[in-house]
Amino acid sequence: MVINVRVVVALGGNALLQKNQKGMYTDQLENARRTAKFLADIIENEPELELVITHGNGPQAGAIAIQNDAAKDIVPPMPLDVINAETQALIGYMLQQSLKNEFARRGLKREVVTIVTQVVVRRNDPAFQNPTKFIGPYYTEEEAKRLMKEKGWIMKPDPRGGWRRVVPSPEPIDVVEKEVIMKLLELGIVPITVGGGGIPVVFENGCFEGIEAVIDKDLASSLLARILRADLLVILTDVDYVYLDFENNAKRIPLREITLNEIKQYYDAGHFPAGSMGPKVLAAIKFLEAGGREARIGHLEQALNVIKGLSGTRIKP
Amino acid sequence: MVINVRVVVALGGNALLQKNQKGMYTDQLENARRTAKFLADIIENEPELELVITHGNGPQAGAIAIQNDAAKDIVPPMPLDVINAETQALIGYMLQQSLKNEFARRGLKREVVTIVTQVVVRRNDPAFQNPTKFIGPYYTEEEAKRLMKEKGWIMKPDPRGGWRRVVPSPEPIDVVEKEVIMKLLELGIVPITVGGGGIPVVFENGCFEGIEAVIDKDLASSLLARILRADLLVILTDVDYVYLDFENNAKRIPLREITLNEIKQYYDAGHFPAGSMGPKVLAAIKFLEAGGREARIGHLEQALNVIKGLSGTRIKP
């Protein structure tokens, strides 16, 4: 009996949109095709891997929120759970098409499919009392105050300028479609799932129901890796390693191999910024604390080397 | 060995949006929940059925096209293939959540999941020379002429007033994710697929690539039923039967049971309007011509009775 190695690979925003790009479809598709090559490298070299792909959706969700807002007098705007769903298909479509093409080009017989995925959060999660995640368009203070009254939104001045809506980022606690994902994996199919952290839902009175929130994609990927009893959680981003003193180019130190306890100390000491490396490190910590064998954080372009353990930060129990 | 009966059920627009509704999320969700009850009736009474769900997306695709247009100076608009993908997740999310809740309420152990699905068309399909399907916002003649120049769109006066974009509605010839759909069915999972006719793609030089078109959802459902070698194609809509002389309330005749040859004669004689019953009847004809056992067209609220053969038009070879 062959025991396959099961790996959850979480793609960062750079997999689909570069920082200087406006979000043109042609640019996003080109990035998806580039990303597909790095992922196909993994399948081609490690054909026994069971691969799950997850991804962020920040720029795409922002764009759809702006579109909803711009047309709000003609078309009823959709809530955040629906906007997340839309980004899952928008991004999933590009990734699944690009991967399928790349697999075929290399003669790899693997199917890949995007699963619309709901992720459960608790309504009494403290995040709902203290929303922190900025989303959607920028408004003037006056507009913001009107929207807060009209829609019950919470809005705050964004350090980047203007007022924006802030929404809760609660902790993910379950993946509704986990059984399906598990079965697809067992069949050798590559699922693209929990996109943008998953569609946030609560489970109350035996029913799932959408809720307005944004789930961190790295934490959702970590949860999924725990549920699937994955061997590896791999977070791919636009830096080669997790660094100490990242902002200080001269002094910064890449972490190549580190234990759970060590990185927890750095995490607790505030070494990793909340908006970037923080959630990735926390996702790795949670995965290892739940019994995961190893978590890795590395560069998208080094995907295969990260899988092989030759690049990226390796975090072990 | 038990041979399961495999059924493709195609939901019409009324499953998610009633004619008098504006597209509020709360209304769409309520409709999805109502639709889920009719579909759960099938699973509860015919637990051995392998069920595939497909659906239209007209109003939702229209809404997203309007949103794209309203924000076009801030956010790059997405092409039609991406808009279709977005509607697949928007509608699929609501249906899959409502079905899962309804299954649980009735103690039915069935998983349900939305598969982002691409459908192949031919670039040399004559529809690309003669686009006929109106989509998106209404414009003045002046705006329309500017857009035709700027974007290369084809625009025509819509009989309902104003100028609108017209896009090709080519014939679907393959479903890219068919292997995955087949495997899900074999596992007893209910897939929601080829939403809105599927994401239109062409297959050229070994690669799939999106193309701007809108595929008829009934024809895509018929194709899927043929690919899956389904026993039954069931098209649910807002009338009980296919009628002759439908517009004439006093004289109209419901077709209860009819052969392929008979309905083909009525179809060729122009009995079924292009915008409504025409594509449904054509979808049934194509399914039966390819060896399907039976096609049925009936009312969504009668879903179980249609499956049982007690309501709806039954079309046999």
Q: Whole-number mean pLDDT of chain B? A: 94
CA dist list (Å): B3 to A152, A221, B49, B316: 54, 38, 10, 21
B71 touches chain A (CB under 8 A): yes
Mean pLDDT by 10 residues, chain A (317 residues): 82 82 92 97 95 95 93 94 98 98 97 98 96 86 92 87 91 98 96 98 97 97 98 96 86 94 96 89 98 96 96 97
Which of B27, B28, B96 is most worth mutating to test chain A (most A CB atoms within 10 A of its CB)? B96
Q: What is the mean pLDDT of residues B4-28?
A: 88
Domain at B5-120+173-316, CATH class: alpha beta
Chain B residue numbers touching A75 (CB-CB < 8 A): 23, 63, 66-67, 70
Structure tokens given for A74: 């003609």
A133 catalytic? Reply is yes
**In sequence order, what are the beta bridge partners of B120?**
B174, B201
Chain B residue numbers touching A78 (CB-CB < 8 A): 25, 90
Chain B CA closest to residue A92: B116
Model ipTM value: 0.95
Question: What pLDDT does residue A2 have?
Answer: 54
Residue B147 phi/psi, 5-degree rounding, is -65, -35
Going from N- to C-terminal start, the domains of chain B cover: 5-120+173-316
A194 CA to chain B: closest CA distance, Å?
A: 13
Question: Could you give the percent of chain B with pLDDT greater than 90?
Answer: 84
Question: What pLDDT does residue A1 have?
Answer: 44
Chain A CA closest to residue B189: A180
Q: Show the DSSP H helices in chain B as ranges.
A: 25-45, 58-70, 80-105, 141-151, 178-186, 217-227, 260-268, 277-289, 303-308
Question: What CA–CA distance (Å, rounded) separates B256 from B245?
Answer: 14
The band of B3, judged by pLDDT with boundaries at 50, 70 and 90, is low
Give the helix/strand (H/E) hosting B19: none
Question: What pLDDT does residue B159 have?
Answer: 83
Q: What is the DSSP letter of B238?
A: S
Q: What is the DSSP letter of B170?
A: P
Answer for the pair B297, B235: CB distance below 8 angstroms, yes or no.
yes
Burial of A5 (0-12, 13-18, 19+ CB in 10 A): middle
Cβ–Cβ below 8 Å for A118 and B183: no
Q: What SS3 state is found at B317?
A: coil
Answer for the pair B290, B224: CB distance below 8 angstroms, yes or no.
no
Which of B33, B86, B139 is most worth mutating to test chain A (most A CB atoms within 10 A of its CB)? B86
Q: Show the DSSP H helices in A208-259 as ranges.
A: 217-227
**Which residues between 162 and 221 in chain A have a beta carbon less than 8 angstroms from any beta carbon of chain B?**
176-177, 179-180, 183-184, 187, 189, 199, 201, 206-210
B14 catalytic? Reply is yes
Question: What CA–CA distance (Å, rounded) separates B131 from A212?
Answer: 39
Q: What is the mean pLDDT of residues B285-309?
A: 97
